[in-house]
Amino acid sequence: MLGGVCSGVANYFDFDPIWLRGAFAISFFVFGTGFLLYIILWMIIPEAKTTAEKLEMRGEKVDVNNIGKAVTEEFDDFKKRMKGWENDVNNPENKAKVKKSAHRVGNFITELFQGTFKVVGKVFAVFLIVIGITFLVALLATLFGRGTISAFNSPGDAIHFSLYEFGDAVLPNTISFELIVIGLILFIGIPLLSMVYSGIKYLFGFKEKNRIVKYTANILWLFGLAIMIYIGIQIGTDFTEHATAKQNITITQPTNNTLYLDLKPSSEEDVEDKYNRHRKIHLGDWYIISKDEQKFRLGYPSFTIVASETNEFELVAVKSAEGFDKKEAASRAKNIEYAITQMDSTILFNSFYDIDALDKLRGQELKLILKVPLNKVVFLSKRMEKIIYDIDNVNDTFDSDMVNRRWIMTTRGLECLDCNGLENVIKHDTIIIPSIPSVPAIPKLP
């Protein structure tokens, strides 16, 4: 009865299918041969779908009369089934059964969804509790544990920068760090506590609503928001005006009309940092170092080259800063300290510049401009790649490709003397140029 094999064969040979079904059932116990044979016949005997095929299945002749008779029988059978279905539908008992079954199915689906939502809600409540407690502990540990930001310069050599020091560098002198601690606890801590509280209530099924707790939490959060807005306004007012200040840095003119430009080696920076117990944060090409209570050290300055209006090399430091007004911004800009070291025709640039701790971090920047006279040459070392920025040149060479090469100032602009076959030159490696004297040794800074 599974595939209609027995009924089809019995109809074809015109006998009762019960005998064939019994034979298959008995042969099933003969090493399963009946089951295997039934499966094979199910696969190879075609299914009678059309009226003609059904006539052939019953062994009847396929002609117009038999086809019409078969169609009539099928139509009568369909009418009987429809009538039986109509009687079943109109039967009050069947209607009640159907309605009761539908009601049970609806209740089951409702309970299934409710149970699923409850489980998901419990899991989400646990998630809220864990996340809330984790961030709350992290916040309190950072603020009261005088947390630090750690940067690893080398394996086992960690440099720690206190958040309190960073706060002192950013907050105005009129605002203490304790005020921002209170503001952060209220502004961030209250929502975290509410998250944990809501998760516990849902997890354990607490239905009571405590209005006192709710209103107190809202008031404290608004108070924390007011503190953060006040601090933000106070800091923002220090960025109202922008000012610049120029300083001419005295340099000695080279005797051979070629000026060699180099940057202080990083190995000396590390030695100096450890010697002076500096703490450094390194984010990409941006550095901030806390030297002591009086100074902050920032890096890197930017360096560019332009044509000189005189017959001498000139170095100009353009300092900029922000302030409440122009006077304050100009004062901060002038307070930026920067120095170079020169020996003969070699200038050694420092990677960092210093600002007064009382000036705070107010967008202080330093741009170095070297003015090169006509027909005079500069040589950029590999390390200068860290500070050179957007140097115009006749060759349209990128800044990173300008290092380890000589550049001469022409009437058209800065032109490369060592850029023939630029694509074949090994970049960023030491290049020995026989046509110029050797670069003198770079002295250590005191």
pLDDT in tens, 373-394: 999 999 999 989 888 988 999 8
Q: What is the pLDDT of residues 233-271, one digit of tens each?
A: 988 898 999 999 999 999 999 988 899 999 987 544 443
65 and 163 belong to one structural domain? no
Tokens of residue 181, six digits: 């601690």
The rounded radius of gyration (Å) of the Cα atoms in the chain is: 44
232 and 265 belong to one structural domain? no
List all residues 6 or more positions away from 17 whose beta carbon is below 8 Å from its beta carbon.
Answer: 6, 7, 9, 10, 11
Dihedral angle of Cα 340, 342, 346, 349, to the nearest 10 degrees? -10
| Angle, CA of 60, 64 and 69, to the nearest 5° | 65
255 and 223 belong to one structural domain? no
161 vs 339: which has the higher pLDDT: 339
250 and 233 belong to one structural domain? no
Query: Domain total for the chain?
Result: 3
C-alpha 263/C-alpha 245 separation (Å) is 23
Tell me if 437 is assigned to some domain.
Answer: no
DSSP H/E element including 296: strand 295-299
Confidence of residue 98 (pLDDT cuts 50, 70, 90): low
Q: What is the pLDDT of residue 284?
A: 44
What integer best gives the mean pLDDT of the chain? 77
In percent, how much of the chain has pLDDT > 70? Answer: 70
- Is the pLDDT reported for residue 318 higher than 90? yes
201 and 299 belong to one structural domain? no
Q: Which of 253-257, 332-336, 422-426 has the lowest mean pLDDT?
A: 422-426
Highest mean pLDDT among 23-27, 64-68, 120-124, 368-372: 368-372
Which residues form the domain of 61?
5-90
229 and 167 belong to one structural domain? yes
Tell me if 193 is assigned to some domain.
Answer: yes
Q: What is the pLDDT of residue 279?
A: 44
What Å distances lie between residue 151 and 154, 245, 280, 294, CA to CA? 9, 33, 7, 22
312 vs 114: which has the higher pLDDT: 312
- Is the pLDDT reported for residue 191 higher than 60? yes
- Is the pLDDT reported for residue 283 higher than 70? no
List all residues 6 or more positions away from 238 whose beta carbon is below 8 Å from its beta carbon.
Answer: 172, 322, 323, 324, 328, 360, 362
